Each structure stands twice: as structure tokens, then as C-alpha cells.
Amino acid sequence: MTVWVLDRVTKNWALGTLTPGIREPLLGEVLQLNLLFNPGAAFSLGTGITPVFAFVQFAVSLLVVLAAFRVGSTAWAVALGLVLGGASGNLFDRLTRPPGFARGHVVDFLELPNWPVFNVADSAICCAAVLVAITAFAGIGFDGTREGGDERSATDPAPRPDSGSSS
């Protein structure tokens, strides 16, 4: 929910403050503000199939919600939250922005050198991808178990001595 709200607030700010296509420095040349409306996916790919992206973002959001009931790792839960916030943030644009339902253009406004213009939702999805890669590389399973025989959850504290048994 935090990512979705932050995405909505920043997009509304950009819409009310920035002029489309005019760059304004935020951190000099490193990060600039540049309001654009993207009908496609990352790098403006697939600009003619916007409804497909709306469907995919809906499906991803639904799958993440369903998967959340099975997650046993804090890192995986954070990654799922980032994906859900990012996918639903851009889906909201596709459903509510011109030119119409499921064809709306996503509001993008952050620009790095030699990189496409993006938004908070896009950033969250990229951060989730990095977190998933790190978590998987660390051997932490979706259910919280670690590779190599340690069946304890990666987020559980060390096992406590059994106080109720007698030998």
C-alpha cells in the first residue's frame, strides 16, 4: 500500500507541477524531472498493445495477493509488496487515464542519463527484482527455508531449548 500511495502522490504532483516534455533538473544532470505519458511498457516497448499490459498488470497483482498467503520469508514478502505496489500503481493509470479504460497512458517523470523516463512504481518493481535475485542467491526459499538443510525460517530467531520435555 505504501508504494501505491507514494506512486499516486508523486504522479499527481508531477501532473500538477511539470510541463510535458520540458526537463527540469532535480539533482543536476544526474536526475531530472521530465513529464511523459507512456502507453507501452519499459523503454516504451509495445505502445500498440496497452490493453495487454493492463491485463498482465492485473494478473500479476492478483497472483501476488494469492502468493502472499504462502510466503514465509520477510525478504520475499517485501519483494512481493514492491511488485504489488508497482504493478497496481501503473495499472491504476492504465484504467483511469486518457485515452480510456485499459488503454490509459502511464505517467512517467523521473529521468536518469541514458535511461528511459520512469516513475515510483517502476522503481519499486526494479527494486523487487534486485531483492528477489539477492534472496534467491542467498538460498532463501519462498517459504523461508534455507538451502543446505536448515529448515528453520530465515527470519526466525535461533531455536529455543525445549523447556517442556524431560529425558
Q: Where do the structural domains in the chain lie, given as residue ranges?
A: 2-16+30-137
Q: Which three cell numbers stand for residue 28?
A: 543536476
Interval 11-40 mean pLDDT:
96
Res. 103 pLDDT band, cuts 50 70 90: very high
**What letter does residue 23 receive in the DSSP assignment?**
-
Beta-strand relationship, 106-111 and 31-38: antiparallel
Residue 93 is among the residues annotated as catalytic for this protein:
no
The pTM of this model reads 0.82
What's the pLDDT at 61?
Answer: 94
Would the pLDDT of 35 be above 70?
yes
Task: Give the lowest-confidence range in 37-41, 53-57, 160-164.
Answer: 160-164
Would the pLDDT of 154 be above 50?
no
Please state, in angstroms and rounded to a whole number, the distance separating the CA atoms of residues 108 and 106: 6
Identify the residue whose cell numbers are 512481493.
Answer: 80
What's the pLDDT at 43?
Answer: 66
* Catalytic one of 7, 93, 108, 143: 108
Identify the residue whose cell numbers are 523461508.
Answer: 144
Evaluate the CA torsion angle 139, 148, 63, 6 in order and state its sign: negative
What's the pLDDT at 42?
Answer: 74
Residue 7 is among the residues annotated as catalytic for this protein:
no
* Catalytic one of 7, 93, 122, 156: 122
Would the pLDDT of 165 be above 80?
no
